[in-house]
Amino acid sequence: MLSIDTVKTQRAAVEENIRRRKQDEKLELVEEVLAADSSWRTIKGRVDDMRAERNKVSQAINQAKKSGEDATDLIAKAKEIPAQLKALEEEEQQLRERIDIILKTLPNILHEKVPDGDSDEDNVERAVFGEPPQLGFEPKSHVEIIEDLGIVDFDAARRTSGAGFFFLKKELTLLDNALQQYAIDKMLEAGFTPIVVPYMVRRQIVDGMVDLAAFEETVYKVENEDLYLIPTSEFSLVGMLTGQDIDSRELPALLCGISPCFRGERGSHGIDEKGLFRTHQFHKIEQVVVCSPDESEEWFEKLLDITTDIFVSLGLHVRHLEMCTGDLGDLKHRQFDIECYSPRRNGWFEVGSLSNLTDAQARRLEIRMVHPDGTREYCHTLNNTAIATSRAMVGIIENFQQADGSVKIPEVLHPYMRGVTTLSS
C-alpha cells in the first residue's frame, strides 16, 4: 500500500513502477487518487470550518442568553448546521474510502534489481547450490515410494476429508516432526523467538496481509464467523502487531511461527494430483522480521542465507529464483523462491518463498516504530519459509531414494529420528 504523499511527490516513479509490473490499466488510478485527495482536502477544510462555526454559534447563543439578548436568529442558524455538516462529513468519508481503496490497489514500489518480465517464464535463476543426485536407476515419484513403504495413506484421507489430504504413518511422521524441530533449532541459533500462533484470524488481518479478492479461492473461511484459517503463520505473526507503536530499540523483531497451514489450492496436473507437494493442510516453520526501513534489505539477504543453509545442510540440490516484474505480487518489493531439484521431474519445484514487503503491510495494519525523539514511521515486514515439511519431504524422498525402494535420511536429521536412519519396509 502506497502513501498518498508518495503518489504526489513521486508520481513519475509510481507510474513507471506500474508499467514495469505490466499493469497499465492502473495508470488512470493515479490521476483519480490525486483528484480525490485534492477534493477530500477541500471538503475536509469545509468540515473543519463548519465545526468551528458550530462552536462559535453555540458560544454566541450562550452569551446572548446570559446577557438577555434575542438569540432567535442564532438558534435558527444553529439548527441548520447539523444537516449541512452531516452531508459534508458523508462526502468526506466517501472520498477517504475511495482514496484508501485506490492506494491499496496501486502496487508497491519494486526493488531496482527485480528483473523485467511478463510471466513466471521470465523469472531469473540467481544462484545454485549442490549437485543433482546420480541415482543410477529410473527414479520413482515420492508417491510411489512412500505408498510402497506403507508410511502414508492418501486413500483413507480421501475418504475422511476429500482429495488434497494425507495420513502420515510410522517413520514418515517422525520425519515430519524431525524437519520441524531441526528448523526450529536453526531459528533459535539465528536469534528468532519461536511462537505457536492462532490458526484463525479475522478478516481485518487477512485484508491487511494480502488482497483478499485475489486470495478468496485459497483462504478457507469459517462459516458464520469473522475468521479465516491461516494459509501461513505470517498472518498471525504480523497480525499480532496490528495497531501497535513499537519502540525502535526493540527492533528488529525476529519471529518464528510454528503452525499447520490451510490452503484451498491443490495441483490439478498429473504428478501433483496425488501426493505431498500441494495439499490443503501441511506443517510449516515460518520466519517473520519486523524492522526499521533501513534494515530490510540487509534482513532480506540474511533470511535467504538461513533458508539456504537449512536445505543445503539436508544435502539437497537447490537454487534461488527471483520473481520478475510480471510475476510479483502487488504488495511485494522483491521476492525469491527457493527451489529443490527433483530427479523424478528432472526439474525444479518450489520449497520456500522469501519476500520483502517494505511498509505495505505495516500501512494497512497501522504498525509503526517510535524513535527516541518521539517521531513515528511505518515498519518494514519480511517473511520467509524456513521449512514447509511436506515439500521438504518430497525433496528428501525423491533425492535420497535407493534402488531397493528405501530412502536414506539426511544425517543432520538423525538426532531427531529416534534411531531411524532409513525409511524402509
Per the structure, the count of domains in the chain is 2
Same domain, residue pair 284 and 383: yes
Which of these three, 70, 105, 140, is where a domain ends? Answer: 105
Distance CA(328)–CA(109), nearest Å, equals 11
Q: Cell triple for residue 61?
A: 447563543
Q: Is residue 112 part of a domain?
A: no
Same domain, residue pair 59 and 91: yes
Q: How far is CA 2 from CA 21, 63, 104, 226, 358, in A?
A: 15, 48, 7, 27, 10
Coil vs helix vs strand at 132: coil
Same domain, residue pair 223 and 152: yes
Using one digit for the tens of pLDDT, what is the confidence trace for 6-25?
999 999 999 999 999 999 99
Same domain, residue pair 207 and 231: yes
Which one-letter amino acid corresponds to residue 139?
A: P
Same domain, residue pair 235 and 373: yes
Same domain, residue pair 206 and 66: no
Q: Is residue 111 part of a domain?
A: no
Quick one: what percent of the chain has pLDDT higher than 90?
A: 84
Which of these three, 105, 132, 158, is where a domain ends? Answer: 105
Q: Is residue 115 part of a domain?
A: no
Q: Is residue 147 part of a domain?
A: yes
Confidence of residue 278 (pLDDT cuts 50, 70, 90): confident
- Of 342, 329, 349, 337, nearest to 385 by C-alpha is 337
Number of Cβ within 10 Å of residue 9's Cβ equals 10
Q: How far is CA 398 from CA 345, 348, 412, 417, in A?
A: 10, 12, 17, 19
Terminal Cα distance for the chain, rounded? 53
Using one digit for the tens of pLDDT, what is the confidence trace for 93-126?
999 999 999 999 999 999 999 999 999 999 999 9
Q: Is residue 8 part of a domain?
A: yes
Quick one: what percent of the chain has pLDDT higher than 70?
A: 97
Q: Is residue 110 part of a domain?
A: no
Is a pLDDT exceeding 90 seen at residue 57? no
Confidence of residue 268 (pLDDT cuts 50, 70, 90): very low
Instruction: Report the CATH number at residue 248.
Output: 3.30.930.10
Which one-letter amino acid corresponds to residue 222?
A: V
- Of 195, 210, 399, nearest to 286 by C-alpha is 195
Using one digit for the tens of pLDDT, what is the confidence trace for 131-162?
999 999 999 999 999 999 999 999 999 999 99
Same domain, residue pair 43 and 175: no
User: What is the pLDDT, as a whole number, of residue 73?
Assistant: 80
List, by residue number, the catalytic residues: 263, 278, 350, 353, 391
Same domain, residue pair 180 and 267: yes
Distance CA(299)–CA(289), nearest Å, equals 8
Same domain, residue pair 160 and 284: yes
Domain range holding 388? 120-423
Is a pLDDT exceeding 50 seen at residue 269? no
Which range is least confidently modeled, 54-68, 178-192, 225-239, 404-418? Answer: 54-68
Same domain, residue pair 31 and 127: no
Which of these three, 75, 105, 135, is where a domain ends? Answer: 105
Q: How far is CA 160 from CA 157, 210, 272, in A?
A: 5, 31, 20
- Of 351, 392, 369, 367, nearest to 237 by C-alpha is 367
Find the helix packing angle between 171-189 and 389-399, rounded to 10°. Answer: 110
Is a pLDDT exceeding 70 seen at residue 271? no
User: What is the pLDDT, as a whole number, of residue 181?
Assistant: 98
Same domain, residue pair 299 and 345: yes
Same domain, residue pair 28 and 155: no
Instruction: Report the CATH number at residue 79.
Output: 1.10.287.40
